[in-house]
């Protein structure tokens, strides 16, 4: 039987990809961030022995457009191309998919959970997915794990509520546990933390809120589920509404899941957070 062996919440700041591509991970401004992921990478590969990762992310109007932007889109392919976000395709191998597991998850979400997802036989993935993979599952010629992309609309209103994202995580857990092959699965919720990239509050950063969020995602996720989109944006900036995707990861874990690792770094206009969890059992 497949099982969820790890939950990961992490930011997906696009500049991290450029740092990886140019080999600047050890520069003074970036080394603290990358050092924080070293024990996480070891934990995921050596202790949790992850085979596949469900990545909850948002497409930044790259593969999808505002004329057709699905609320929830799930990849169902054996491979995902690297998207061109406007500055050329990053020098990365295509992301490997798990077609059988993806198809099972899609069927379960539609038939058993009544989630009306968009099923994508082709997807080009961008920094929302690639940066978390760079940080947690870095490639050396090929990616070390297979990926099931789950894209969430956090750009074009109406967007799903925090509670709906949490419920999606619980549904994903039931889908994984009903799969009849032995696969160790991690669930990664990405985005945020506090940041605003436009308007009068450009550069808004609220480290106090970010650390409160890290506390609550671990111990009291229902406190976040009760927040409105306006609550999140008022506290942490318009783009911080991406944090609802962390709730999908948390919904896929048991209520008493334990924190393994946590980090927070805010050297610029975006709070960069990390938390890893495993079920108490």
CB neighbour burial string for 159-183, b if at least 16 within 10 angstroms, e if fewer:
bbbbbbbbbbbebbbebbeebeeeb
**Distance separating alpha carbons of residues 10 and 136, to the nearest angstrom:** 9
Q: Which of 12, 60, 104, 127 is catalytic?
A: 127
Contact 256, 199 (CB under 8 A): no
The 3-state DSSP class for residue 170 equals helix
Q: Which of 60, 108, 195, 204 is catalytic?
A: 195
Query: Is there a catalytic annotation at residue 127?
Result: yes
DSSP state at residue 241: G
Contact 105, 97 (CB under 8 A): no
**Distance separating alpha carbons of residues 196 and 77, to the nearest angstrom:** 34
Which residues, in sequence order, are CB contacts of 6 under 8 Å at separation 6+? 43, 44, 48, 50, 186, 187, 276, 277, 278
Strands annotated E in 40-100 = 52-57, 72-75, 79-82, 95-96
**Distance separating alpha carbons of residues 27 and 33, to the nearest angstrom:** 10
Contact 80, 164 (CB under 8 A): no
Strands annotated E in the chain = 3-10, 52-57, 72-75, 79-82, 95-96, 118-120, 124-125, 146-152, 184-190, 258-265, 272-278
**Distance separating alpha carbons of residues 125 and 75, to the nearest angstrom:** 10
Query: Is there a catalytic annotation at residue 195?
Result: yes
Return the active site residues: 127, 195
């Amino acid at each position: 039987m497949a099982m969820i062996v790890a939950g990961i919440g992490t930011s997906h700041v696009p500049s991290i990809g450029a740092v990886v591509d140019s080999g600047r991970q050890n520069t003074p401004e970036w080394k603290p961030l990358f050092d924080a992921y070293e024990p996480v990478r070891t934990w995921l590969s050596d202790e949790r022995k992850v085979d596949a990762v469900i990545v909850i992310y948002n497409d930044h109007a790259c593969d999808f457009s505002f004329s057709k932007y699905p609320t929830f889109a799930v990849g169902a392919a054996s491979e995902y191309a690297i998207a061109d976000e406007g500055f050329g395709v990053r020098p990365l191998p295509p992301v490997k998919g798990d077609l059988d597991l993806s198809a099972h998850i899609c069927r379960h979400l539609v038939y058993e959970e009544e989630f009306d997802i968009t099923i994508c036989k082709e997807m080009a993935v961008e920094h929302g997915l690639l940066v978390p993979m760079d940080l947690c599952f870095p490639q050396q010629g090929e990616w070390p794990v297979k990926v099931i992309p789950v894209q969430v609309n956090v750009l074009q209103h109406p967007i799903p509520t925090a509670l709906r994202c949490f419920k999606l995580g619980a549904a994903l857990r039931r889908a994984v546990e009903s799969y009849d092959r032995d696969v160790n699965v991690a669930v990664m919720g990405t985005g945020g933390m506090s940041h605003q990239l436009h308007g009068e509050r450009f550069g808004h950063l609220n480290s106090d809120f970010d650390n409160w969020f890290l506390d609550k995602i671990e111990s009291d996720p229902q406190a976040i589920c009760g927040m409105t989109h306006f609550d999140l944006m008022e506290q942490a900036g318009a783009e911080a509404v991406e944090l609802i995707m962390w709730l999908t990861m948390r919904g896929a874990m048991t209520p008493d899941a334990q924190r393994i690792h946590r980090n927070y770094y805010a050297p610029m206009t975006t709070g960069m957070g990390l938390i890893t969890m495993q079920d108490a059992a």
